[in-house]
Chains A and B, each alone.
Chain A
């Protein structure tokens, strides 16, 4: 590295800025990760401390990306169910409501299991904090969940033989409709907030994606729930599911493409390793499912295959984005390089403009 200071003082200082030794001048090795020659105590490179991560990856495991999928699935299913209720598509309604309940239940189990102290999960309700997407999400789920559950239970009650249901249970059947509508109103936030959850971190590949990730996630939710609708409903009733599936898939693919374009170097982990494989699979499956949805209007088989492809693709998307974030946190280059580039451009983050 050419010296930033010689006997005369700091060299290369910009005239309009107080010269901070070392920050003026070009980086000698702009992109290399730290660590370098492993044959001795590694000479500390300027980019990192022995190649070690700076920010920490989240301690989350499969629970969270699984929840990302199931939360989106529940939300989309509730929307489909409510629409089906209003337009007389009973099978679509049923599968939407029950699918939402199943996905919601799985979501709650996954979220509690993920905690370091699961017995304290109720502490999530101690406070409502706007600066915490997880707190906001907790209350969104608390607002959405009971209504989605009520609608599903009403559906289950309807499935029982008529003479086994008495007064109170009959009541449930009546509130099913309104509950389902409230759930549908609360569903879009459920599908979208998880993108803020990931983006509101220092994880490079998550934070850098914050503009498009919500659209990727809602697109994925629509595709997955449309896929579930196609699998479970007869062709005659599944029209809206097919349209949701196609629209969601297109939105997801388009938003994903724009997202990667805007992420700079932090888009790399989306193309490498485990995350890269998952993202590739998700694009392939989502595309296949979208194409299949065009044929699903004529063939139940095509509908099922398309639905499976879309749901699997949605799982791959969530796991792929999750893994990419984790990988971006583990490698210091994704933290150091964008920040160092900012500084070198003369644009470090400042609150005084």
Chain B
């Protein structure tokens, strides 16, 4: 069962785990170029999974008052206001004269700030403010990025690797899920995740699943009955697309090509590559800027990749300690 790519490198996670003839791997393709920031995904997820509220805090991060993924937030919509041009570039209207629409318009008198209505009734009217034309100047570059973040369901999931109770497991769909009745809240998965997704749920004593690790399940309980995850179902723009990961990757590549042809050169995929540090993500993204702009790590890697070396070093250290202890007892009795 331990193969060449068991810890790192491309692999089919469900088959690697030992499922015989598993269904095709399921995941998300989140196309942030069509996200409208409605947060229906956040609400739908919480409704379906009975996730408690995560605090009522105005964060001042544009319209993002959720902050980040965590034990009580399994979908998180990020908002980034940027001084960058919108995707569709250069309509070719900059710098020219204001368009005359042929409507009653105010024309500035030569050399003065005063304006006159063309058909003003009296001669001695005082200057009269009406709707004035905006001074023809370039509007500043501005765009508003919106993106719905979620657990990546990594091919090599550090949270799953380090879980000491076996609570986190790989489903037949290739997703990573916490078994709520087994997790004892050791919290080891929390620092292990390279994306900062999973967290121990905090809250009052009666809160559901408080104290144990909680994260997106890719609606495992919906997949069994042939339904889509709640967030994908709720998304009105199909920014969140659910399906077979292979097919999603093809779709995503085609989408990026299309965007590039349209002049949106910033578009790129994130997490789609099986050769990356986590073996590719089951839930990957189309981004319009660098990953770290959205709060993603630019080059994540599963910590387990280095584990064999770590154990080697620890073994050497243990031997050193043993040898040191032996040496301490050698020699004259002193």
Contacts and interface: CB of A to CB of B under 8 A. Distances in A.
Interface of A: 4-5, 7, 9-10, 20-23, 34, 41-50, 52-60, 75-76, 79-80, 83, 86-87, 114-121, 123-124, 126-127, 129, 131-135, 138, 184, 187-189, 191-193, 195-197, 199-203, 206-207, 210-212, 214-215, 217-218, 221-222, 226, 239-241, 243-244, 247-248, 251, 297, 325, 329, 332, 335-336, 339-340, 342-343, 348-352
A339 B80 CA distance: 22
Interface centre among A60, A79, A116, A214 (most CB of B within 10 A): A116
Given A4-B265, A218-B321, A247-B324, A54 B166 contact: no
A138 B162 CA distance: 12
B190 A58 contact: yes
A43 B81 contact: yes
Contacts, number: 306
A154 B201 CA distance: 43
Contacts of B328: 80, 83, 226, 239-241, 243-244, 247
Given A56-B193, A127-B164, A200-B162, 12 more contacts: A4-B266, A56-B190, A60-B187, A115-B187, A120-B182, A121-B184, A192-B317, A202-B158, A202-B192, A207-B303, A239-B333, A351-B275
B266 A22 contact: yes
A218 B317 contact: yes
Contact of A336 (B167, B183, B292, B301): B292
Given A21-B268, A117-B211, A210-B306, A56 B191 contact: yes
Interface in B251-275: 265-268, 274-275
Contacts of B274: 351
A123 B167 contact: yes
Interface in B76-102: 78, 80-83, 89-90
Interface residues of B, number: 95
B321 A116 contact: no
22 contacts: A44-B80, A44-B82, A54-B295, A56-B196, A79-B325, A115-B184, A116-B183, A116-B186, A116-B200, A118-B184, A120-B183, A196-B311, A200-B162, A200-B307, A201-B188, A217-B317, A226-B328, A247-B328, A251-B320, A336-B298, A340-B299, A343-B299
B8 A87 contact: no
Contacts of B196: 53-56, 202
A41 B145 CA distance: 14
Given A20-B268, A44-B82, A202-B192, A340 B324 contact: no
Contacts of A58: 187-188, 190-191
Contact of A129 (B164, B327, B334): B164
A75 B265 CA distance: 58
B223 interface: no
Interface string B163-194: 11111000000000000001111111011111
Nearest to A325: B191
Contact of A339 (B190, B293, B299, B313): B299
Given A200-B310, A218-B317, A351-B5, A123 B279 contact: no
A19 B176 CA distance: 32
A349 B193 contact: no
Contact of A349 (B276, B309, B311): B276
Given A44-B81, A120-B184, A243-B328, A87 B333 contact: yes
Given A59-B199, A135-B164, A202 B186 contact: no
A141 B300 CA distance: 32
B216 to A, nearest CB: 15
B247 interface: no
B199 A54 contact: no
A241 to B, nearest CB: 8
B246 interface: no
A134 B186 contact: yes
B60 interface: yes
A110 B196 CA distance: 25
B105 interface: no
Contact of A188 (B89, B194, B301, B318): B318
B304 interface: yes
Given A44-B82, A53-B196, A214 B163 contact: no
